[in-house]
Homo-oligomer: A and B are copies of this chain.
Amino acid sequence: MMLEPLRFPTIVAAALFVAAFAQSSNNETTTPEQRLNGKRTLSVGMVVFPGWQPMDVYGPIDILYMMSSWGKYKMTFSVIAQEVGNVPSMPPPHRHQPGAPVSDWGHVISSQIHATHTFANAPALDVLFVPGGMGTRLVDSSNNTEIEQFIVKRYPRLDYLISICTGAVFLAKAGVLNGKRATTNKATYNWVTQGHGENIKWEPNARWTVDANIWTSSGVTAGLDATYALMKHIYGPEEVDKVMALIEYAPHTDPTWDPFAVFHKVCWF
């Protein structure tokens, strides 16, 4: 009976361990499917066009960059545009709204990303990111349908399609959001949600949405949170949580967290 005094704390410790494990296994442990995903090479594409929003594109890129370096995951990455070459984040001169004067955006500070592929020669893709930005309205109003045609053509073979910010316009116009839940930038919510797509269940109060294999995020930095959630969905939490610690980002993990819906007076009543 020498060991008797140890029993109670041992049982408590074991119970606590089991309770903690059960808690974390709700959604925080890696499933066998996620482990298999970790062994394949993920082919990721990012659409760009003149007037791409810098962080719509580079928030997700930073997470992918870290998942492919300090994380243990194999990825390929294609930046896809009308032509191979540099694409500026400065939008070309255009009317911001029909009837408005043509704005010259030459005062906007700009940078250029190198597009590695065209819509015609992009490789087979598992995940396609579609960002938004100030150039979205120009692509929309100029009847340039290349991006939505690319989405229509590629969606059937994608594992995941994800829009950031006003990139949801391209998904809506491609028809892939019809009958589905989706969200977008709250500052331009009315423009995006009126006249694009059919029977889309637009969420006025969401950091991001998931419906089947289509993810849509709210404005700009919401892309960080949606990408975090998507990486966790694909691979499990282990590496992406380490990546968050390395990039020192505390992600918003509640998809209904959306103070900007209130700020921009986007309401559902």
A89 CA / B245 CA spacing, docked (Å)? 20
Residues 204-229 of A at the B interface (beta carbon under 8 Å)? 218-222, 224
Q: Which of B55, B62, B68, B110 contacts A247 (CB 8 A)?
A: B55
In which size bucket is the chain A interface? 35 or more
User: Residue A74 at the B interface, CB < 8 A?
Assistant: yes
Contact (A134, B69) CB under 8 Å given A58-B58, A86-B114, A113-B112: yes
Give min CB distance, A116 to chain B, whole Å: 8
Q: Mark A91-108, 1 if CB is under 8 A from B, else 0.
A: 000000000000001011
User: Residue A75 at the B interface, CB < 8 A?
Assistant: yes
Q: Is the CB of A55 within 8 A of B64?
A: no
Give min CB distance, A112 to chain B, whole Å: 4
- Residues of chain B within 8 A (CB-CB) of A12 are none
User: Residue A54 at the B interface, CB < 8 A?
Assistant: yes
Give min CB distance, A51 to chain B, whole Å: 10
Contact (A247, B264) CB under 8 Å given A62-B54, A68-B107, A77-B110: no
A68 CA / B185 CA spacing, docked (Å)? 19
User: Residue A130 at the B interface, CB < 8 A?
Assistant: no
Contact (A248, B62) CB under 8 Å given A77-B109, A111-B113: no
- Residues of chain B within 8 A (CB-CB) of A111 are 58, 61, 77, 79, 113-114
- Residues of chain B within 8 A (CB-CB) of A61 are 54-55, 58, 89, 109, 111
Q: Which of B44, B79, B220 contacts A248 (CB 8 A)?
A: B220
User: Residue A246 at the B interface, CB < 8 A?
Assistant: yes
Chain B residue nearest to A77 (CB atoms) is B109
Extra inter-chain contacts (13) besides given A218-B248, A245-B264, CB under 8 Å:
A58-B61, A58-B111, A61-B111, A65-B108, A68-B108, A75-B107, A76-B109, A86-B114, A111-B113, A113-B114, A219-B246, A220-B246, A220-B249
